[in-house]
Amino acid sequence: MAKVRVSTLAKEFGMTSKELMGHLAEMKIPAKSASSALEDAYVAMVRKQLASVIEARAKEVEAAKQAEEEAAAAEEAARAAEAERERIAAEKAREEERRQFAAAQAAEEAARAEAEAKKKAEQERLAREKEEAAREAQRRAVPASDSGSRFRSLLDQIAAQETVLKEKKDAEAKAKAERASERGNRRGGNNDRRGSRRNDRNASESRPHSHRTNASNNVAAGMDFPNPDKQGKGKKRKGGHGNDEDHYSRMAREAEEYSREKVLEEARAAVEEASRESTGRRKKRKEKREREAAKAQEERKIEEALAQGVNPEELDAIKVSQGVTVQELAEALDVPANDIIKRLFLLGTPLTMTQSMSDDLVELVADDLGRQIKIITPEEENTFSFYDDPADLKPRAPVVTVMGHVDHGKTSLLDAIRHTGVAAGEAGGITQAIGASQVMINDRKITFIDTPGHATFTAMRARGAKVTDIVILIVAADDGVMPQTIESINHAKAAGVPIVVAVNKIDKPGANPDRVRQELTEYGIIPEEWGGQNMFVNISAKQKIGIDDLLETVLLQADVLELKANPDTFASGNVLEAKLDKGRGSVATVLVTRGTLHVGDTLVAGLTYGRVRAMLDPKGNAVTEAGPSDAVEILGLQSVPNAGDEFRVFEDEREARALADERSLKARIEEQSRVKHVTLENLFETIADAEVKELNLIIKADVQGSIEALQDSLDKMDQSEVRINTIHSAVGAINETDVVLADASNAIIIGFGVRPDGKARSAAEREGVEIRCYDVIYKCLEELDAARIGMLKPTEVEVSTGTATVLDTFKVPKVGIAAGVRVEEGEIAATDSVRLVRDGIVVFNGKIASMRHYKDEAKSLKSGSEGGIGLENFQDIKPGDQIEGYRIDQVARTE
């Protein structure tokens, strides 16, 4: 009989190994440790002696389990009561929020009216001030020519008058000096007096005409001054004539100077005031021109964004790929690479020129340099960004996807919706051929996508395809929430799509729609009547009950979303499905999300391009155009695109071809550099160079107990050098979602009592994911343990192959000095490593450059044979040296 370990027996009895060792010591049964093995007789004795203890322990476990179940029931009741209280509190909170919102709206309206009144009063005040300023400026204005010419004229006049005044002063000083000289010579005789009078008359006549004019004006003003011309002819007192003339001239000069200075001061003040007004007007005109230029630049920016189909904010952003290197980032930002390396060093992350940078580092460096940057992910590289003017957007039909568990009525619901629309004369034909259908309800169109289950839905979303606006989650009223129902909820939430729940099969016995609502609350799907955000509709797809209510609910949800698109631009959208038809070539079903698609348009879809040769609508009729939310079948692509690929129409066919070729080249390069997925056979080769070795597993089983047993056995394996990670485990068949997860995480799928479905098998073959199915748990553990041991680093062992003695040396062309040897023992191969030993000292350790048996090339030299051996990069060989051959073998570890 097989022996049983003490630890295994203790686990069977439900006690610790230490407790069992104590009982064994009491029964005088020899056992050194928990790993000791007991004979079958000892095992029978232990079972008999400890029967009462085991029974008591079982009763304790049963009592504990019952207490745990009672506690769980009490906790569930408390949770239900708490949920009810939270619902009531939430309802009160919403009522209070509505009341506060109404009050806030009223306050906002009052504030808006008050602000408008203040704004109107401010505008009136500003208008009055502007009008008064205009009148004041008009009153102060100097009546002259406009602007700069007027100012320049006034300044020139002032300067000219100052020059004339200076010349006049110089002339008066000169005349005064001449008169003084004349008075000194007057006593010389009549001739001298006549000459003096002539000189005086000439001097008087040489005075500026303005002086006489001003003097005459002063006389006219009432000043009784004698006439200097008449006084020159009569007889006066000695020296009287010169003194009177000087007095009159001085008075005239003072009057003229006073009048001139006053005029000049007034002119200067007027010029200064006019200059201030002109400067203010110029500043305002400059600011106005700057505002107009900024507005024109913004309009040009928006026009450029519309032409390129992008957001205006992204025009100035520098685009770089995810994982950009330091050198590539420096070229994109047009800065020296040393500046980026310096900043990375200061951030504590020194990198070289060719090392990749994380997204956070790229954003930090760009922000420090004051540059706006946008990081493009691999998914975004094959997508297009668009920008539409809000004025160009028009309402469009909603796009709906039906999701749910198997056999809950998805296909029946779609058939009922189509036939309901046809019977009412409001819909087109059945569109199963192209994977999409359209119905009309209340003169409004709804587009249904037929084919995507949740796996395809996720695959399309992974490619950036956000084609679905609303998800109808169908749940059977007699079955409730099932695993695929939960998966559908998670996928819809991840995509950010609103969910409308259709509770199907309400006509069947045992249907309980309220139970479905209660179960869905655990996953965040709460009905509106319970205070949530999700709309629920009770339907029967077979009996066609509630179909119209469901469609109206979908339209109501679409109204809330306010779905709009720009139909007057180049078309873009997503590929729903594609195939290769023998007679028609590449056929793709596309959904237009923006613009209008026409026959003859050139488009790029994923890695392919082509010209639309023909289009078929859901009825199968040929059409010439398709607008937003329309699903059509197109012909003319060069190859078959993938589901979820985004397409866009290009005006230039050469541009479309160049983009498709560039994407194809990049895809081929990625495929060549793609890492092969791990399998149990290549596990050692795949992770041999890794310092931390891991084996990722996805476990699917028929029952939860099998998963727990397998997981427990895996946890007991040695995890010191090879760590076994179970990244996902669930009950059910192996599906396509498991393959997608294994592909992303480089894992192996283990199936225990289950098999993969057709789609999962095809996906696994396509992606290179290994699926292992077992029916016996020990077989699974043996293979996993063998793979784990194979991942352990092998030990290296040196194996001696033979020994040879150097008999003589000779010179070989192109080789150098070779040794003539005789093999003493073993067999030396040309691929072996060798040591050259001289007097017990190793003088060379390396490879064999050449080996000959007489004149022929030899692969090996056996014991007793002679030949020639040339050593690699070594010439110092002497007779009597020993050549030892050896090889390094790697021996796999057993544990």
Mean pLDDT of 726-747: 84
Confidence of residue 277 (pLDDT cuts 50, 70, 90): low
So what's the pLDDT on residue 137?
A: 65
Residue-wise DSSP of 509-574: TT--HHHHHHHHHTTT--BGGGT-SBEEEE-BTTTTBSHHHHHHHHHHHHHHHT-EE--SSB-EEE
> For residues 760 and 765, what is the distance between their CA atoms, to the nearest angstrom?
9
**Proportion of the chain above pLDDT 90, given as a percent:** 7
Give 700-719 pLDDT, tens digit per residue. Answer: 887 776 787 788 788 777 66
Cα angle 850, 856, 861 (rounded to 5 degrees) comes to 65
**Proportion of the chain above pLDDT 70, given as a percent:** 74
Q: Highest mean pLDDT range out of 290-299, 314-323, 483-492? A: 483-492
So what's the pLDDT on residue 670?
A: 65
Tokens 């020994």 belong to residue: 803
Confidence of residue 2 (pLDDT cuts 50, 70, 90): low
- Categorise residue 271: left if φ over 0, alpha if ψ from -120 to 50, beta otherwise: alpha
Q: What are 470's two structure tokens? A: 């609303």
Tokens 């030990």 belong to residue: 795
> For residues 617 and 634, what is the distance between their CA atoms, to the nearest angstrom?
9
Distance of CA 579 to the CA centre of its chain: 32
Give 782-830 pLDDT, tens digit per residue. Answer: 777 776 665 444 556 788 899 999 999 988 877 788 899 999 988 999 8
pTM confidence score: 0.42
Identify any residues that bridge with 572 across adjacent strands, giving them in sequence order: 594, 648
Give 181-225 pLDDT, tens digit per residue. Answer: 666 555 444 444 444 444 444 444 444 444 444 433 443 334 443
Least confident among 70-79, 166-175, 339-348, 817-826: 166-175
Give 547-596 pLDDT, tens digit per residue. Answer: 888 988 999 999 888 888 888 888 988 888 888 887 888 888 889 988 99
By CB neighbour count within 10 A (0-12 exposed, 13-18 middle, 19+ buried), where does 601 fall? buried
- The three-state DSSP-derived secondary structure of 464-509 is CCCCCCEEEEEEECCCCCCHHHHHHHHHHHHHCCCEEEEEECCCCC
> For residues 170 and 639, what is the distance between their CA atoms, to the nearest angstrom?
104
Give 498-540 pLDDT, tens digit per residue. Answer: 999 999 988 888 888 888 899 899 888 999 888 888 899 999 8
So what's the pLDDT on residue 500?
A: 92
Confidence of residue 376 (pLDDT cuts 50, 70, 90): confident
Q: In sequence order, what are the residues at sequence separation of 6 or more whose Cβ sits closer than 8 angstroms to the Cβ of residue 579?
A: 587, 640
Which comes out higher in pLDDT, residue 856 or 452? 856
Q: In sequence order, what are the residues at sequence separation of 6 or more whose Cβ sits closer than 8 angstroms to the Cβ of residue 524?
A: 489, 493
Residue 390 · residue 396 · CB < 8 Å:
no
